[in-house]
Structure 1
Amino acid sequence: MTDRCAPDEILGLDSNTFKDLEIFEAGAGQASLFDFCNQSRTEGGAAVLRRRMEQPWSTAVRIRSTQESVTFIATHPQVFSKLPSAYVIVSTEAYMREILPAVDYRNPLEFALGALQMWTNQDSHYFSIVRGVQATARMIRALRAFLVQPGLASLRGELVPLIREMRSLLRRPHMARVPDQEIGHWGMWRMLRLDQVLRTQEKNTVTRLLELVYEIDALFAIAEATRKHGFNMPVIEQGLPRVDVEGLVHPYLERPVANPVALNQDQRVLFLTGPNMAGKTTYLRAFATALYLAQLGMGVPATSFRFVPVQWLFSSISLSDDLRQGVSYFRAEALRVKAVAQAVTDGHKVVALMDEPFKGTNVKDAFDASLAILERLSARENCLFMFSSHHIELRDHLHVANGQVDCRYFEAEETAGRLRFDYRLRSGISEQRLGMRVLREEGIFELLDALPTPVDNHTPGAATVES
């Protein structure tokens, strides 16, 4: 962004969370969240959008400023249709970037001689300069027309300083030499004089105007993604961390089932149970994705979303070991929990999601570790947690958490002898165990039982044939 801010205004995200939420990389043939949101019209705008998505906001002031701009753009689309076209922007950028000779004499006679020399000896460069000057002049004229629109009078949020700076740059004395009409009929002398203005005297000005256009284009992309996907703008609240959501869905699903989320200081931990395939991981990802988008300043895939911004978002869904570094799966899990613990200990406001942690150790260690972590996390005022697990026996011990743990579950229903998942969040703890059931339904045991019995040719007493 134009005044990229202090680290304490940026939401903390690590590589594992970027991976879990597929923010920039997804599976083969799948779109990333960046692809999902990238409605920008220029490559420069896409680059700014990427930078924003690498560093979402962590403060209510910054998030609200982006929200106000996104909402303004969404309600005034006709105003922003007046911005320079992508073709003009690309042509101007190429002109600014290309290494071309310049006639930069101030003395009129020297300038005339230099212009004549370029015309006679470097005609290919001259025509490249003409195309660049024409494109840049079109961009400047389009920006002037854009800035005088009455619709910009009620500007809000991040757009205010962007538009103010753009107006200031266009008022610079040399920029007034760019005419308000087409310059295709101009002769060599006038064309090279304007090239002198644009590439020598005001090159930094033109470059900065391009940067401002890209900033606006990135905000436009966020607004367009919010509109296109039918997202709703979150409501920012004050106080200790809490999130209250209705109608949450994962944005990638074609026919999603909506569910609520309620995390607050009375119930800081959501303890999630249920069989595999019932929807636990999708629910965790849906919530983390929505919170991430909310802190980015855009709409979210929920009917309502009220939240207090946090400083760190951790997701532990798709951990793996690291053979090169000698890190086992369980140690990777332990290091992940340690990263969360460090952020909590440092006093940051944290939201952390742990999907079936401690799978890399034995059942007893996993149970003890889960209970110990739940006890400690639930006591942290500045933090909110989602913790999914197959250890339903933890229910008998969760009373030690002083009521700070909210138990929810997903479950399967049996219809005509087959399992059906409705993906509805329920209150309580699931006791449903489907592992053996799924193996039987897939006919795995029948396949194994049908294997022929191996013949032992070395049974004592058996005849031996010698060659």
Structure 2
Amino acid sequence: MSLNNSKVDLLGIDSHTIKDLEIFESDMDDASLFDFCNRTRSIGGAAVLRRRMQNPWASAERIAETQQAIGFITERRAIFQQLPSIYAVEGTQNYLQEILPNLDFRNRFEFILGSLQVWINQDSHYFSIVRGAQASCRLIRALRRFVAQPELKGAPGELGPLLQQLRALLSRPNFRMVPDFDVGAWGTWKMLKLDQLLRVKEKDTLIRLMALNYELEALVSMADANQEHAFIVPEICTGPMQVKAEGLYHPYLENPVANPVSLDQQRRILFLTGPNMAGKTTYLRAFATAMYLAHLGMGVPAKSFKFVPVQWLFSSISLTDDLRRGVSYFRAEALRVKAVAEAVARNEKVLALMDEPFKGTNVKDAFEASLAILERFSTRENCLFMFSSHQIELSDYLHQLNNQVDCRYFEAVETGERLHFDYRLRTGISDQRLGMRVLREEGIFEILDQRAAIKKDFSRPEDLIS
């Protein structure tokens, strides 16, 4: 990833969506999506991966470049074992950050005196300098060997510019002093001269080498996560917005039930119904997570996946009120819809997922608000929406929305004593009403009736006397 990325190239993804998708934090004991993908070895590599996950691509070209780099790494994984060891990387990082005497004296005599002072009076500093210089030399030698591998010639995507920058930095004249063998046997004078070269004259170069190494480490981590989780490479499409997927599932589930996704300009709204626990929210999360991973340039959990990149990804799944700011639950819902509306009004390519919106108001308001929003969303070209709801009465009006709404549902299997869920997406609108059955299954009415009977029995005079 270039350090000079244009914001135009980046996907708009706000803090609420990041929280909804559990990208960096999870409300449960499970790891975050970052932890799920993090296979880096160093703190710096993990920091670069985190930066990438904070800034997914919106540009088809940038996504393709990352895909090509990850694909190349996956096919030639052994080559990337030649990257510097964690010892060399962390040792160099500590060397550059540690506060050590600076012997940047232009006068040769003063440099000699300063070197003697370090060696005689500050032996702990001297040994830190030796360790750091040795680690830096190991880093440089490892990177030399790495970029010299003939298999890296013509590496595609992001790798090409990264390797080109590495070769240019490693060919700097000052680095010719770094030998192709360990410098541990060098004397004090020679070692301090090397330290002056590495930590003073070429410090910025070393910092840049480290940054490029971290970029490579992050790409390798993404490739390893793809392999470990058996993700498939999405197909990037052009033209009007669309997403088509088969066998999509949420990567956190151990035995997931896979489902399709189909959204395009003929059916730009998916209206999702079904009882609680049937799979609506999981389906929304699975789709949003796959779209997010696809915009990172990573693989996705599906059998097939093709998409046109978007500019904004919004989710509205786990809203809460804000007592400190005086924001009620319904106000929070309204503000979330407003954020989506503002991006849509700017004619940006928007994908928005709303899980049972307008729960914070009465049924009549929720119905009218849902219908009004769906009517307006259905007219917006180059935008796609998923909208889950218990407002099944909306079905009587959805056919009026220019056939832009695709109705799908999940259902509960009601055979047997308890409800069973198969988590299969079906065509149409659910008319299941299971609230009373769930309450009966949990024995809530029986508990309340028993308590009422006990209270009634003990209200008799003879019970009170006894």
Q: TM-score, normalised by structure 2?
A: 0.96
- In 2, Cα distance between the equivalents of 1:350 and 1:409? 23
Q: Distance in 1 between matches of 2:418 and 2:458?
A: 44
Q: How does 1:200-349 map to 2 (within 5 A)?
A: 200-349=200-349
Q: How far apart are residue 385 of structure 1 and its match?
A: 0.3
CA distance in 1, matches of 2:403, 2:91: 62
| Mapped partners of 2:269, 2:305: distance in 1 | 18
Is residue 157 of structure 2 the alignment partner of residue 157 of structure 1? yes
Shift of 1:71: 0.7
DSSP 3-state at the match of 1:415: coil
Equivalents in 2 of 1:154, 1:445: separation in Å? 71
Give the superposed CA RMSD: 1.7
Q: Say if 2:56 is the partner of 1:56.
A: yes
Report the equivalent of 2:464: none
Partner secondary structure for residue 39 of structure 2:
coil
Give, as a single letter, the amino acid of the residue that structure 2 aligns with 1:201.
K
Please give the secondary structure, in 1, of the residue aligned with 2:260: strand
- Structure 1 unpaired stretches of 5+: 463-467
Instruction: Report 1:36-75 matches (<5 A).
Output: 36-75=36-75
Structure 2's unaligned 5+ residue stretches are 462-466
1:142 match: 142
C-alpha distance in structure 2 between counterparts of 1:417 and 1:180, whole Å: 74
Post-superposition CA distance 1:164-211 (Å, at most 9, x none):
011001111101110011111111111011001001110100111000
- Structure 1 residue matching 2:419: 3-state secondary structure: strand
**Paired residues for 1:347-362 under 5 Å:** 347-362=347-362
Is the 1:2–1:215 contact (alpha carbons within 8 Å) kept by the matching residues of 2? no
SS of equivalent to 1:244? strand
Checking the alignment, whether the CA contact within 8 Å between 1:243 and 1:306 is kept in structure 2 is yes
For 2:395 and 2:103, locate their aligned partners in 1 and report how far apart those are by CA, in whole Å. 80
Q: How many residues get paired? A: 462
Shift of 1:417: 2.5
**Cα 1:457/1:298, change in 2 over 3 Å:** closer
> What is the letter of the counterpart of residue 276 of structure 2?
N
What's 2:101 paired with? 101
Of 281-290 and 119-128, more deviation after overlay is shown by 119-128
Name the SS for the 1:450 alignment partner. helix
Q: Secondary structure at the match of 1:338?
A: helix
Q: Distance in 2 between matches of 1:31 and 1:53?
A: 15
**SS of residue in 2 equivalent to 1:351:** strand
The question of whether the paired residues in 1 share the 8 Å contact of 2:249 and 2:301 is answered with yes
Query: Deviation per CA, 1:52-72, whole angstroms, max 9, x where unpaired?
Result: 111101110111111111111
How many percent identity over aligned positions?
65
The CA distance in 2 between the partners of 1:109 and 1:417, in whole Å, is: 93
Cα deviation digits, residues 312-355 of structure 1 (max 9, x gap)? 00100111111111111111111111111110001100000010
| Pair 1:193 & 2:190 matched | no
1:106 Cα deviation (Å)? 4.0
Deviation of 1:13 (Å): 1.0
- Of 263-272 and 72-81, more deviation after overlay is shown by 72-81
Distance (Å, rounded) in 2 between the aligned partners of 1:2 and 1:58: 15
Change (3 A) 1:28 1:279: closer
The residue matched to 2:385 in structure 1 has which SS? strand
CA distance in 2, matches of 1:305, 1:50: 24
Structure 1 residue 36, shift from structure 2 partner: 0.5
2:389 counterpart of 1:389: yes
Deviation string 1:121-142 (CA, Å, 9 cap, x unpaired) is 1111111100011110011000
Counterpart Cα distance in 1 of 2:326 and 2:251: 37
Any idea what SS the aligned residue of 2:366 has? helix
SS across alignment from 1:111: helix
Aligned residue type for 1:396: D
Equivalent position amino acid for 1:419 in 2? L
Letter in 2 for 1:289: T
In 1, Cα distance between the equivalents of 2:416 and 2:357? 34
Question: What letter corresponds to residue 229 of structure 1 in structure 2?
Answer: H
**Whole-angstrom distance in 2 between the partners of 1:142 and 1:149:** 11
**Corresponding residue number in structure 1 for 2:111:** 111
Offset at 1:117?
Answer: 2.0
Deviates more, 1:258-267 or 1:411-420: 411-420
Equivalent pair of 2:355/2:389 in contact (CA under 8 Å): yes
Specify the code of the residue in structure 1 equivalent to 2:79: V
Map residues 401-420 of structure 1 onto 2, 5 A cutoff: 401-420=401-420
One-letter amino acid matched to 1:91: G
1:212 maps to a residue whose letter is: L
